[in-house]
């Protein structure tokens, strides 16, 4: 049995002509055709590009596990971090430019290396990225 539903397209959030934000002014029920007109807001997520929405979906599906995200998307830890930062900025928040995975500069060298090893074990950091962090600190 086929559904009466029409093929639904995602909501456009940017005008294809002038590239400014679009606003929702009409909602309609597919079942009874009741229509409501007014000024409605879209979610911040509606203004993100499709690839960023897919990244968010993968991020949530993997419960934020960087290692799982790296594996599923076949990308490196820095790429995951960069994409996450882009999503954060796209949602209207600022990103601290300090690398959050870099341990405090004042930390003892042995604690720094231990924290790096811990991050590798948890899958939050690749060995290559860990070596880069250690060399950066020297």
pLDDT tens track for 88-104:
998 888 887 555 444 33
Output the pLDDT for position 65: 92
C-alpha–C-alpha distance, residues 67 and 85, integer Å: 17
Angle between helices 77-90 and 50-61 (to 10 degrees): 120
Confidence band of 21 (pLDDT split at 50, 70, 90): confident
Output the pLDDT for position 1: 45
Cβ proximity of 103 and 116 under 8 Å: yes
pTM higher than 0.85 for the full model? no
Dihedral of CA atoms 81, 86, 92, 97 in degrees, nearest 10, equals 50
Angle (nearest 5°) at CA 64 between 60 and 45: 45
Name which of 56, 60, 130, 67 is nearest 99 in CA terms.
130
Output the pLDDT for position 69: 93
- The mean pLDDT value for 115-130 works out to 75
Confidence band of 31 (pLDDT split at 50, 70, 90): very high
- What would the pLDDT profile of 38-89 be if each residue is shown by its tens digit? 998 888 888 888 899 999 999 999 999 999 999 999 999 889 999 999 999 9
């Amino acid at each position: 049995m086929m559904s009466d539903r029409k093929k639904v397209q995602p909501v456009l959030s940017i005008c294809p002509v002038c590239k400014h934000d679009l606003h929702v002014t009409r909602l309609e029920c597919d079942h009874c055709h009741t229509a409501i007109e007014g000024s409605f807001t879209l979610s911040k997520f509606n203004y993100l590009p499709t690839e960023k929405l897919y990244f968010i979906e993968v991020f949530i599906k993997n419960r934020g596990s960087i290692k799982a995200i790296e594996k599923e998307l076949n990308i490196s830890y820095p790429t995951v971090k960069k994409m996450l930062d882009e999503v954060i900025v796209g949602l209207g928040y600022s990103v601290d430019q300090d690398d959050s995975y870099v341990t405090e500069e004042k930390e003892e060298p042995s604690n720094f290396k231990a924290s790096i090893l811990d991050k590798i074990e948890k899958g939050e950091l690749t060995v290559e990225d860990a070596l880069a962090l250690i060399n950066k600190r020297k």
